[in-house]
Amino acid sequence: MNDVMSAIAQRRTQTLTDIVQGEIERMILAGELAAGERINEQALAVRLGVSRGPIREATRGLVRSGLLNSVVNLGVFVRQITDEEANEIYDLRAVVFGFVCQRLVELITPDQLAALSGLVAQMDDAIERDDGANYYRLNLEFHDVILDFAAHGRARQTYEALIKETHLLRQSALSTAPRMRESNAEHRAIVEAMAVGDADRARRLAEAHAHGGKRRWLLARQEAEERKEA
C-alpha cells in the first residue's frame, strides 16, 4: 500500500476529500498531471483506491483554488496560465513578498537568521553539485520559512495561492546553474538586509527578487520557443 492509500486508510482529522485533494494538488505541482491535461476521474479513483465521489469533490475544490478549470460538456482540466496572467501573478507576488520581508525584519530572531542563512548555504551546495531538483526544493523551503517567521496569516494565504498558480513556471525559470546562482544571490542579499535591521531594503530586495523570477521565467520561455523553431 502506498503512502497516499495508507493516509486514506488511517485518516483521522482530515476528510477523505481533503486527502484526495491534497494528492491531486501534489500531482499537479510535481508535473505528474500536465498543464492542459484532462482529469480522468476513473483512473485517479483506481490509483488512490477510492470511489469517484471524493475525486469529484476534490476536483471541485481545486477548480475553486485555481489549479483546475472546468469546461462545460468537456470535463475538468489542469489549468494553463496565460502570459498575461503569469505577469500579473508575478507582480502581485512582488508586493506580498516585499511586505512579508519588511515585516519580518521587526520580528526576526538570531536563530531564525541562522536558519535562513543555512538554507542559502544549502542552496549554494546544491548549485555546486548541479542538483537542480534539490535547489528548487530548498528554494521553496526558504520562502516558506520566511512566511512562517513573519506570522501574517492573510499574507501567507495570498502568497501561497499565487505560488501554486506559478509553480511550474518557477521551476522552468530555475533550470540552469547561472539562474540558480542569480536567484540565490538575491536570497543572500535579503537575509543580509534583515540581519542589519534594514526593513526598507529588505522589502525592496524582496520585490526585486520576485521581479527577477519573472525575468528568469520570460528568458526560459524564450529559449524554449527558440529550441522549437530550431
Which residues of the chain, if any, have pLDDT below 50? 11-12
Helix (H) or strand (E) holding 71: strand 68-71
Task: Give me the residue spans of the domains in the chain.
Answer: 3-78, 83-229
The residues facing 52 across adjacent strands are: none
- What integer pLDDT is reported at residue 216 of this predicted model? 84
- CA distance linking residue 190 with residue 207, whole number of Å: 10
Output the pTM of the full model.
Answer: 0.72
- What integer pLDDT is reported at residue 211 of this predicted model? 93
List of residues 6+ apart from 24 with CB closer than 8 A: 33, 39, 44, 55, 58, 59, 62
Nearest to residue 20, comparing CAs of 28, 92, 83? 28
Do residues 68 and 165 touch, judged by C-beta distance below 8 A?
no
- What integer pLDDT is reported at residue 86 of this predicted model? 82
One fold for both 3-78 and 83-229?
no
- CA distance linking residue 79 with residue 176, whole number of Å: 25
Residue with cell 505577469: 87
Coil, strand, or helix at residue 76? strand
Nearest to residue 103, comparing CAs of 142, 157, 147, 150? 150
Cβ count near 51 (within 10 Å): 11
Do residues 134 and 126 touch, judged by C-beta distance below 8 A?
yes
- What integer pLDDT is reported at residue 164 of this predicted model? 73
Nearest to residue 107, comparing CAs of 49, 65, 74, 149? 149
- The arrangement of secondary structure in 3-78, i.e. its CATH architecture, is Orthogonal Bundle (1.10)
- What integer pLDDT is reported at residue 59 of this predicted model? 93
- What integer pLDDT is reported at residue 94 of this predicted model? 95
Q: For the domain 83-229, what is the CATH superfamily, name and number? A: GntR ligand-binding domain-like (1.20.120.530)
- What integer pLDDT is reported at residue 99 of this predicted model? 97
For the chain, report the end-to-end CA distance as a whole number of angstroms.
45
- What integer pLDDT is reported at residue 65 of this predicted model? 79
- What integer pLDDT is reported at residue 171 of this predicted model? 56
